[in-house]
Amino acid sequence: MRLVPGLRVLPRGDGEVQVGTDPRWAVRVDGLAPAEVEALLALNEHPLAPVPEALAGPLTDAGLTLAAGDTAGAAPPAEAATWPLLHAAPPARGAAVVAVMGLGPTGLTVVLALAAAGVGTLLLDDERLVTAADVGAGGYRWTDVGSPREAVAGRCVRDVAPTCLTDTAEEPDVLVVVDQGATDPGQALTLLGSGVPHLPVVLREADALVGPLVVPGSGPCLHCLDLHRADVDPAWPRVALALTTHRTAPAGEAAHLAAVAGGLAAAAVLTLLDGAPATGVSYEVPLPDVVPRTRRWAVHPHCGCTALVAVPAAAGPS
């Protein structure tokens, strides 16, 4: 057996070492002879070396070892080294198709995070031109100003992940929609009807709303959110309509806000692709601190979006 890549072995004194630093899996091993302490600490310098057999038991019990021939973490994406600690089976993202509509700095951050995470196909949708306000940490350069965002974003994807495709006849597995002001209520219903899981990212004056990830038929949809908002503010439908029918020119997107909001959006997509989608959760990311505030949403009783799947199997037609 060898240690999962990336784990540190740390001396704690008195014949004791600690393996790992994350409280979710770090363990202490005590009662060790000085030579055993030395042998474990040597794994920091030689991570592929076998764990001394007499010491492998507690580390294997904690899920911190791999079989000697296991190649986990040896190939991209960079995070693959953590997969043995986080997933029962390695995620298979190479066959996934993700579409991203709206490719300002936040949308481009989502795209590049997904490309780097091993998503096989990314469909890019935004014919607007790169402006000076788009240039920054997200990936757009001064020389890109005036070129269509989707074309430049495609080049950025190839720079990060040369094998990632940006064209396919297949339907996307999930759609990310980056909008200004509010999500279009009509588009929200169309998305729900399409059956394709989708994630809204809404950019406002000085914050970004990420989520919730909508898996049609499971958990709240975007119409549920509008109904909840209208319960609190009866004028919300008119306000939302005004926001989505008279869109103003996109404001500049702060690079640090785009980084946090785009990262949260990419993580939500990956939870779905990795088989454990986090639905009903959204994040409000405000300037200036960009610390995400979590909000949890329930299905609205008047929406009906989950009615078809809410019927218990035993009560349905045979």
* Shortest Å, Cβ 223 to Zn ion: 5
85/224 with CB nearer Zn ion? 224
Is 215 one of the binding residues for Zn ion (CB under 5 A)?
Answer: no
Is 221 one of the binding residues for Zn ion (CB under 5 A)?
Answer: yes
Residues 285-314 that bind Zn ion (CB under 5 A): 303, 305
157/303 with CB nearer Zn ion? 303
161/305 with CB nearer Zn ion? 305
Helices (H) and strands (E) in the chain, counts: 10, 12
* Shortest Å, Cβ 192 to Zn ion: 7
Cis peptide before 90 (omega within 30 of 0): no
Specify the stretch interacting with Zn ion by CB under 5 A; choose among 38-46, 134-142, 149-157, 222-230: 222-230
Is 198 one of the binding residues for Zn ion (CB under 5 A)?
Answer: no
Q: 295-317 burial, b for 16+ CB within 10 Å, e for fewer? A: eebebbeebebbeeeeeeeeeee
Is 224 one of the binding residues for Zn ion (CB under 5 A)?
Answer: yes
Using CA atoms, how far apart are residues 17 and 139, in angstroms rounded to an integer?
A: 42
Specify the stretch interacting with Zn ion by CB under 5 A; choose among 51-59, 217-225, 243-251, 258-266: 217-225
174/303 with CB nearer Zn ion? 303
Note the Cα 39 to chain centre separation in Å.
Answer: 38
**Helices assigned H by DSSP within 42-180:** 56-61, 83-86, 105-116, 149-160
Among 3, 174, 223, 264, the residue binding Zn ion under the rule CB under 5 A is 223
Return the half-sphere exposure (C-beta side, CA atoms, 13 A cut-off) of residue 50: 8
Separation in Å, CA 259 to CA 27, 95, 220: 33, 26, 26
Note the Cα 250 to chain centre separation in Å.
Answer: 24
Is 225 one of the binding residues for Zn ion (CB under 5 A)?
Answer: no
24/296 with CB nearer Zn ion? 296
Residues 276/291, Cβ–Cβ less than 8 Å = no
* Shortest Å, Cβ 302 to Zn ion: 9
237/292 with CB nearer Zn ion? 237
Specify the stretch interacting with Zn ion by CB under 5 A; choose among 71-79, 106-114, 215-223, 283-291: 215-223
Using CA atoms, how far apart are residues 284 and 264, in angstroms rounded to an integer?
A: 10
